[in-house]
Amino acid sequence: MECKYVVFMGPAGSGKTTLTATFSDWLSSQGIDNVKVNLDPAVEYLPYDPDIDVRNYVDAREVAKKYSLGPNGALLASMDLLYGKLEDIKKELMEIEGEYVLIDMPGQLELFSFRSTGPLIVDRLSSKNRTAVVFLMDANFTASVENFLSILMLSHSIRIRHYFPQINAISKIDLLSPELLEELLTLKESPELLKEKVIDKGDPKYHDYINSIADFLIEEGIDFIPVSSTTGEGLDELFASIQNLISNLDEIETNL
């Protein structure tokens, strides 16, 4: 059986690492073998025991020391060094068995997504037709309509850049008030309600602009899965969605 890849992406602090841990536990509780890959050379603490840890190849703290680099330089150099270790990591990955490979991407999205090596790293470690990207957005971004539009636009930007089928997941929903969570869930059922929020809250000077962003996003479909790594809420729905996405890819492939 060929394994499937789930790549957790999202801006710094969106909860990728925590979700990797809880999603892995959830898969195991369902009897599904899974492999956890930490791809962040700069992570200090992991709430899971990685099967593959990029820090065994490149450790950002050591890179900083060895080359006398500041934090910025150390991170950039680490990502470039990681690229050079890709074949070794891939080889290690091939030796481990699991139905699902969970890839926990580096803390900062920008370091790989908007640099040339990033998409190459993801391509090499996963498999084009058996990979789903889970794009994580912090629930705090949903509290204001402008921020929600902004993070949804970022999600599209990442999707085009990486060219993988992508699922949006809203993390940390346990931190939302019951009213905000209710609003969010209503929006999922009736995305056109986003327009009312825009009318309500938009700065008049930016009104037309924000309105057309909202139109575009509604047209594309505002789909997301609310999850919480604390309560476990949404993990079953996330799994179903990943499975659907990957089996659809298989079908497309078979029909070509």
For 122, counting Cβ atoms within 10 Å of its Cβ (0-12 exposed, 13-18 middle, 19+ buried), the class is: buried
Shorter beta-carbon distance to a copy of itself: residue 12 or 32: 12
Shorter beta-carbon distance to a copy of itself: residue 42 or 227: 42
- From the CB of 175, what's the least distance to a copy of itself, in Å? 13
Write phi, then psi, for 9 (nearest 5 degrees): -120, 165
The residue ranges that bind a copy of itself (CB under 8 A) are: 11-13, 40, 42-44, 60-61, 64, 69-76, 78, 107-111, 114-116, 140, 146-147, 149-151, 153-154, 156-161, 163, 203, 205-206, 209-210, 212-213, 216, 219-220, 252
Shorter beta-carbon distance to a copy of itself: residue 35 or 217: 217
Got the DSSP string for 34-57?
Answer: EEEEE--TT----SS--SEEGGGT
- From the CB of 12, what's the least distance to a copy of itself, in Å? 6
CA angle, 8 as apex, 4 and 11 as ends, to 5°? 165
β-strands 100-104, 4-9 pairing: parallel
- From the CB of 159, what's the least distance to a copy of itself, in Å? 8
Shorter beta-carbon distance to a copy of itself: residue 91 or 205: 205
- From the CB of 97, what's the least distance to a copy of itself, in Å? 29
Shorter beta-carbon distance to a copy of itself: residue 130 or 239: 130
d(C-alpha 213, C-alpha 185), whole Å: 20
Q: Any alpha helices (H) in 95-192, and if so which ranges?
A: 109-113, 117-125, 145-162, 178-189
